[in-house]
Structure 1
Amino acid sequence: MSKRQSIRSRLLLWIGLPFCALAILALISSHLLLSHQINETFDDLLLNAAQRLERRIYTADGVLRINMHYFSVSTLGSRGEGKIFYRIKEANGNMIAGFSGLSDPPTASHEPVFYDVNYAGNELRAVALTFPFNRGSEPVNIEVIVAESKEARYTLTNDFMVTLTGLMVVTGLLAISIALLAIHLGLAPLNAVSQALRQRSPNDLQALDDDAPKEILPLIQSINHLMQRMKRSIESTQQLNADVSHQLRTPISEIRALTEIALKDTPQSPVHSSLQEIQRIAEHASHTVKQLLKYAKTRNELVDSSHLEKVDLVAICQEACAQTAPNIYKQGQELAFDLKQPIPHIIGDPITLRWLVTNLIDNASLHAGGSHAYQGTITVVLTADADQIVLTVSDEGSGVDEAQIAKLTERFFRHNKHSPGSGLGLAIVEQIATAHSAILTLSNRHQGGFEVSVTFPSTA
């Protein structure tokens, strides 16, 4: 049995198999019982015919004769398919009437003897009856044999079995229908729990309602216990993020400040180059810590979708451009924001969406030039249609090797070893896009350069 087989299938299987076995057993038993009863009934009629035949024998001038004018044999053959054979003779072997080729009974008895016999290509059921008779003053024993073909018995048995089988099939279909209804109603609480879980936000870890049948109450309690553990784990992770933010960012900032002071105080000192290297490392560490914190905070399971709100993506892009513009211009680059049409609001978190845009702009600024410093334009574009809103950040740089595009969203992967960075920028962007049910697309531009598109579902 498949491990993935549904409970409904298992219930139907274990209800259907015993029912089919009982139905087959009932049909076999009914066939045996009906055959026995029908044979007994036909045997009684056959005996009655032999007894009536006995009463038609008389003597005339000392000779045994039979009054065939009044003789008839009744059968149950409804369509006249039965055949009747008879034989009347004296016990010493003298034939009186009938078919002499009919076989004698297997045993001689004064009681009626029933037996099966073949005659003229027919399967017959016969009865032999021996009785005393007076031929004038001479007593004799007369043997009467009446045999009937079995077609009528078989026909009647088959008719009964066909009717019984039809009734069982109808009863079986009704039973299966009732079983399906009962299974559906019985599994309704499980379906309700499943639907409630599917409709929940991934971040909704509130306990399920335990007002359920006692059979599934342990399952609900286990799910609630798991949710409670997940909630505590997420709260612990969030607390760890806050601790890391406090414990790492502050000392790194102090190192940077002290290094800047030392560089100003020792412009000609032999340790000046070492202090510059310390400053570079401290700045890289500060950037990496900030990115790690952003990466931790934007994990999909930590984003509470119940707190998302309608936000103006145009305003967010403008804020991100204003935040990154000073550094962009300092690098000798240009930053353009192209708004081609009115953009409807989307459902999202304004802080993480601003991180998404700033990361895309910073990523283009750092890596667009490849092994050389980029001196071109970074363009931010917003477009919309009836179904979606697309945010695109593109550059005019050297692009990315096609074989490496799929790896760009991996943590700590850096395709450009010549520029600083933590390798977390696009990984953060991907997590934020996933949390907002958006699709991230990375590609080289036909006219040169690289572009990243984030497609948000429209709420209009």
Structure 2
Amino acid sequence: MRSRSSLFWRLAGLISAILLGGAAVLAFAASNYAETAADDAYDRVLYGAVRQISETLSAENGVVEAQVPVSALETLSISRSARIYYRIATAGAANVTGYDDLPFPPGAEAGGAGPFVGDTTFRGHPIRIAAVGRYFAEANGWVMTVVGQTLEARDALARDLTFKAMVLVGVMSFLALAGMIVAIRLALRPLADIEAALLKRPPNVLTPLDVEAPAEIATLISAINNFMERLAGRLAAMQRFIADSAHQIRTPLTALTGQVELLAAEKDQARRKHHMERVKARTAELARLTNQLLSDAMVSHRAETMGQSEVDVAMLAREALASAVPISLDRDITVAFDAPAEPAVMHGDAVSLREAFKNVIENAIQHGARSLLRVVVRKTGTGIEIEIADDGPGIPAEQWPQATERFFRGKSSGPGSGLGLAIAKEVIQNHGGEIRFAAAEGIFSVLFRFDGIKAS
């Protein structure tokens, strides 16, 4: 199993990255907001000071007089590091009082009521300046009042607001991260419950899990239950195979061992020959039983694991007939095969179908056919039919319902395992068909019918 990182840490890392990105966006927004808020607050103070100074101006006989109130400048001197500059001049730049080199903000040179505001550099310091104008007829024009303030105070206010916003964002991010960790732990708890439920189970308990879980994990539980159901089926089949094999093989092995011991102890040649024949018969019976048990296991396995493809049923029946009929028989049997000229094609597993046909043909040879064995493949209006017939005594009609059960041998005392028809039935049912029996005019037939399929 490939090692993967913890689901918890993957989720925590992903959500932490999202929170970190969100915190960075909030910090950037908070910094911009703090700068805007600081500028807005100090601009209002700056506007108030300019207007207050402008309102003290007077003009008489063409001379402008100014009395700069101290209170107007005190409001701008909250910060000890801030520097305040002011200037009163006519629109023609004739200085009345203040710093005669203090520049006008953009648009104020031509006069106007304002207010005008802008940023500039004065005497090596970046400052924020604002100007308003008053029109005096005695002065023949506009008198502009300009006040400037260095940026230390507003920068300090912006930093203070930014820091407080950062602290708030940090605290909220920490709380969100802590809540996220708790939420992930709670969300992943059903997985831990599933793990605990599986670890507590004994190896032989494969019943469905009964664990409460949210809808997102219900599909996982359903998949686990489905897997355990299939595993239980496979284990049951394996246990059945082991039990059947032990039960069925033990008897012929015991009999074979006894015959070998008798053969080893017998001195009379005639009786040694008789025991030798019995050993051969027991060996053949054991070989057939072993082959059928393996065939049964193979058919069960392929029914669950192998896919289906297009197969020619007529060709499979022909191959099964050739494989099942031995080269030498102890009686003369006429073997006939009849199939349409065109292939009888259907979807299926070639190996399983061939094994089913072979088992029934071998049953017919061993238990039925006296002088005739016939295999016929027919296309019907709705599908395909395969008939395996012989002129033997067949199976009594009252035993037909039980004839396809595993290890059912009826009243037969001959050799056999009772698996041939059971294997055939399982294969045919896995292919959506059915198995039937028929008897007429001394001929017993086993019919395989595949209806509702497209035979081509």
Provide TM-score, normalisation by structure 1.
0.52
Change (3 A) 1:248 1:138: closer
Instruction: Give, in whole Å, the separation in 2 of the partners of 1:5 and 1:76.
Output: 60
Matched, 1:44 2:44: yes
1:84-123 map, 5 Å: 84-107=84-107, 108-110=110-112, 111-123=114-126
Instruction: Give, in whole Å, the separation in 2 of the partners of 1:213 and 1:140.
Output: 81
Displacement of 1:267 in angstroms is: 9.2
* 1:38–1:157 CA contact under 8 A, matched in 2: yes
Residue in structure 2 matched with residue 437 of structure 1 by the alignment: none
Residue in structure 1 matched with residue 231 of structure 2 by the alignment: 230
Q: Kindly, what percent of the aligned residue pairs are identical?
A: 27
* 1:57–1:65 CA contact under 8 A, matched in 2: yes
1:261-276 map, 5 Å: 261-266=262-267
Displacement of 1:235 in angstroms is: 1.8
Instruction: Give, in whole Å, the separation in 2 of the partners of 1:69 and 1:15.
Output: 58
Instruction: Give, in whole Å, the separation in 2 of the partners of 1:16 and 1:96.
Output: 62
Change (3 A) 1:130 1:212: closer
Question: Deviation per CA, 1:97-135, whole angstroms, max 9, x where unpaired?
Answer: 22222223322341221011101111111112222236x
Displacement of 1:66 in angstroms is: 3.2
Change (3 A) 1:24 1:117: same
Amino acid at match of 1:47: Y
Residue in structure 2 matched with residue 220 of structure 1 by the alignment: 221
Instruction: Give, in whole Å, the separation in 1 of the partners of 2:122 and 2:173.
Output: 43
* 1:128–1:143 CA contact under 8 A, matched in 2: yes
Change (3 A) 1:69 1:34: closer
Instruction: Give, in whole Å, the separation in 1 of the partners of 2:23 and 2:201.
Output: 46
Partner of 1:88: helix, strand, or coil? strand
Residue in structure 2 matched with residue 200 of structure 1 by the alignment: 201
* 1:56–1:71 CA contact under 8 A, matched in 2: no
Displacement of 1:77 in angstroms is: 6.5
Displacement of 1:266 in angstroms is: 3.7
* 1:53–1:71 CA contact under 8 A, matched in 2: no
Question: Deviation per CA, 1:264-315, whole angstroms, max 9, x where unpaired?
Answer: 224999x99xx9xx9xxx9xx9xxx9xxxxxxxxxxxxxxxxxxxxxxxxxx
* Runs of 5+ consecutive residues of structure 1 not aligned to the other structure: 290-460
Displacement of 1:10 in angstroms is: 4.3
* 1:105–1:128 CA contact under 8 A, matched in 2: yes
Amino acid at match of 1:250: T
Change (3 A) 1:239 1:76: farther
CA RMSD of aligned residues (A): 3.5
1:15-414 map, 5 Å: 15-58=15-58, 63-68=63-68, 70=70, 72-75=72-75, 79-107=79-107, 108-110=110-112, 111-133=114-136, 138-266=139-267
Instruction: Give, in whole Å, the separation in 1 of the partners of 2:211 and 2:5.
Output: 26
Displacement of 1:209 in angstroms is: 1.2
Partner of 2:216: helix, strand, or coil? coil
Residue in structure 1 matched with residue 293 of structure 2 by the alignment: none
Change (3 A) 1:266 1:115: same
Question: Deviation per CA, 1:310-356, whole angstroms, max 9, x where unpaired?
Answer: xxxxxxxxxxxxxxxxxxxxxxxxxxxxxxxxxxxxxxxxxxxxxxx
Amino acid at match of 1:214: A
* 2:86–2:145 CA contact under 8 A, matched in 1: yes
Displacement of 1:72 in angstroms is: 4.0
Instruction: Give, in whole Å, the separation in 1 of the partners of 2:71 and 2:213.
Output: 79
Displacement of 1:174 in angstroms is: 1.0
Change (3 A) 1:237 1:169: same
Change (3 A) 1:238 1:69: closer
Matched, 1:4 2:8: no
Change (3 A) 1:141 1:79: closer
Amino acid at match of 1:37: A
Displacement of 1:68 in angstroms is: 4.5
Amino acid at match of 2:143: I
Displacement of 1:206 in angstroms is: 2.4
Partner of 1:41: helix, strand, or coil? helix
Instruction: Give, in whole Å, the separation in 1 of the partners of 2:196 and 2:111.
Output: 80
Residue in structure 1 matched with residue 377 of structure 2 by the alignment: none
Task: Return 74-83 or 94-103, whichever deviates more.
Answer: 74-83
Instruction: Give, in whole Å, the separation in 2 of the partners of 1:29 and 1:3.
Output: 41
Change (3 A) 1:235 1:138: closer
Task: Return 159-168 or 225-234, whichever deviates more.
Answer: 225-234
Partner of 1:216: helix, strand, or coil? helix
Partner of 1:142: helix, strand, or coil? strand
Instruction: Give, in whole Å, the separation in 1 of the partners of 2:218 and 2:69.
Output: 85
Instruction: Give, in whole Å, the separation in 2 of the partners of 1:77 and 1:265.
Output: 133
Provide TM-score, normalisation by structure 2.
0.53
Residue in structure 2 matched with residue 429 of structure 1 by the alignment: none
* 2:50–2:147 CA contact under 8 A, matched in 1: yes
* Runs of 5+ consecutive residues of structure 2 not aligned to the other structure: 291-456
* 1:81–1:152 CA contact under 8 A, matched in 2: yes
Residue in structure 2 matched with residue 324 of structure 1 by the alignment: none
Displacement of 1:63 in angstroms is: 4.9
Amino acid at match of 1:51: R
Residue in structure 2 matched with residue 443 of structure 1 by the alignment: none
Task: Return 144-153 or 26-35, whichever deviates more.
Answer: 26-35
